[in-house]
Amino acid sequence: MSSEIKSSYFFKKIYDYKIEFKVIGESISELPTIILLHEGLGSLSMWKGLPEKINNATNCNIVVYSRAGYGKSSSVKLPRPLNYMSIEAEKYLPEIIRQLNLKKFFLLGHSDGGTIAALYSSIENNNDNHLGTILIAPHFFIEDFNLRSIEKIEVEYQSENFRKRLSKYHSDVDNAFYGWSKAWLDPNFYKWDITKELRNINVPVLGVQGNTDPYGSVNQLKCLEKNLSTKFYKLILDQCGHNPLFEKTEETIEVLRKFIYEYRK
């Protein structure tokens, strides 16, 4: 008997956008689903082999998609509104969950995706089937060195090599890059802060942060821990940058596996 993991790739219209999806496992089965939310320059394809590894470690179905403006999904009108992560959490993610008819799910968000996952988890009337949230290098408030890192990468983007590498993962690479960088570097974005919303999170949370991340410090997790009233677990990784799932794969997947097995139903 074959033990090959089933997967499907497809597009769905979510409001005005065509969104690319990949589902690993059986979305109609009784197993929980983990929804992967990518970083600010990420896409479905930039997860590479991680969805399959997470599926294998957790025995959960996996849903991964590119938000509008990324990957092969529809482009968006620029500039993005400065509350674009709140819009994703309050409008688009709930519609995706509804259209895919997901029962019993976890959110796993990285960077911007982590912020979106946290915001969704703070919505008072969110889905009762939401079992828990995993936040990897999330952002809740602005740190000066974070903005300096984005200024630096925007300069690097002008080089043909970096733009060319990134274009392998996005149909409209300028839409993806500038939709992210111009929002973060907008002078009015400096006031962005969602720490109050964290108090409304009503599911268990796992936070993971590298201690050499150029886009956010361990103070982000300290802020999360201070404001949460739910069960909270954290992992701070030494000599790890912005993407623990790639830089410290075994440690990160093991801690999220334990978290998911504790709260799966």
Residue from 185, 180, 175, 245 nearest 209 by CA: 245
> Which pLDDT score is estimated for 1?
36
Checking if the pLDDT of 3 tops 80, the result is no
d(CA 92, CA 171): 20
Instruction: Output the six-digit token pair for 19.
Output: 């969104």
pLDDT digits (tens, 9 = 90+) for 62-90: 999 999 999 999 999 999 999 999 999 99
pLDDT in tens, 111-160: 999 999 999 999 976 667 999 999 999 999 999 999 999 999 999 998 77
Number of Cβ atoms within 10 Å of the Cβ of 247? 16
Q: What tokens does 206 get?
A: 């796992």
Query: Around Cβ 96, how many Cβ atoms within 10 Å?
Result: 19
Q: What is the pLDDT of residues 10-30, one digit of tens each?
A: 999 999 999 999 999 875 568
- Domain 7-263: give its CATH code: 3.40.50.1820
- Does residue 151 contact residue 185 with C-beta atoms inside 8 Å? yes
Question: pLDDT tens digits, residue range 240-256?
Answer: 999 999 999 999 999 99
